[in-house]
Structure 1
């Protein structure tokens, strides 16, 4: 008899959780070389601009933890429970009292206007709905709060961009990983004021510092 029971479809978010749970225990080793060559100084750049109540979205294994100023109050959100476990161990080893929670970037378990800085490093390239994630980052920021992003994006050099596009044909399907996606237009469309950007490594890496506008007082 033919099985007519419909097959369960995996959502993009569930797929990302599965992919990063599987990659969690080898992630630090795999990313180390790329951080030295392509993203060098990026985590320090983010952390030195973070202030007050800081929310890191997609904190991963906690590779930003050693770089934050000691006076920030840090909350971290991570979809992958396996990566979150590693981040918690890292925070304990470093003596950092961070509130690390499991959660989705598209539905942050954080109250409106409750943080001063949002940080997201090397993650909007894989988050299924980056526009919604940025809207959530805006929601939880206080007016005048800071948004700090680091990611790889499509190169300004056509031969490199072509290679990135080709690589995406495989990486998007297997792991939801985008190489030509760019976050800056989404940040601008989300109403943020961009105050600082850096584009490095043949245009393949971008750092963004933006501020959520302060609404004019109503008379």
Structure 2
């Protein structure tokens, strides 16, 4: 047990995330389905109604947002876990939804500057090892005026729930890189995005963010 814990501490955070999500890929949709129905409150639909043009979904996972994008959107997805990506590709095929789904790291997006009109990230900045670096990359690949759309669980506005999140996080940060009190919105502002709309739901547990990359002065 001690050797396993030591190995986990020494493992590169990105490699750990790949391993964790590869292991969860087959059961992820079953596990997350109930939580999404109870907590997200139409969050993926919210993302889909705001996405437009050339859309990049960062950390697309098993592709649960794919059914909600406009039919005329050009979808690209990037995912760290090959096993999760395989599920997403099958979902796209089942939907008859053309999509360019690639393996890659959110902190080092394999695209040129100004490649996309919309960047989406759903329930993933809570596990990306360096969310500030990921947001910088999202900004880089957006066109000036392009849209950033985020959906994530964050630290609750209700103190008893926040305290429970903090306690659970002591374990999940070490074992799976999962954060429950992390909040992307301050990082979005620090990255230089212009915040258009935000909304917090379910005792502040869920946050939606719509921001834009500033255009030329």
Please report the TM-score for the alignment, with normalisation by the length of structure 1.
0.94
Structure 2 distance, partners of 1:35, 1:182, is 18
SS of equivalent residue, structure 2 residue 147: strand
2:3 corresponds to: none
1:15 corresponds to 2:26: no
Q: Which residue of 1 aligns with 2:60?
A: 59
Tell me the distance in 2 between the aligned counterparts of 1:47 and 1:110: 22
Equivalent-residue separation in structure 1 for 2:147 and 2:99 (angstroms): 19
Q: Deviations over 1:158-208 (max 9, x none)?
A: 101000000001111110000000000000000000000000110111000
Normalised by the length of structure 2, the TM-score is 0.95
Classify the secondary structure of the residue corresponding to 1:38. Answer: helix
User: Could you say what secondary structure the match of 1:207 adopts?
Assistant: strand
Pairwise CA distance, 1:10: 1.7
Counterparts of 1:86 and 1:200, CA distance in 2: 29
Unaligned runs of 5+ in 2: 1-6
Q: How does 1:87-166 map to 2 (within 5 A)?
A: 87-166=88-167
Taking the aligned partners of 1:10 and 1:167, their CA distance within structure 2 comes to 21
Tell me which residue corresponds to 2:75: 74
Give the total of aligned pairs.
210
Over the aligned positions, Cα root-mean-square deviation in angstroms equals: 1.0
Instruction: Select the structure that is richer in helix.
Output: 2
| Superposed CA offset, 1:92-136 (max 9, x none) | 010111000000000001111110000000000000000000000
- Give 5+ residue unaligned stretches, structure 1: 1-6
Whose radius of gyration is greater, 1 or 2? 1
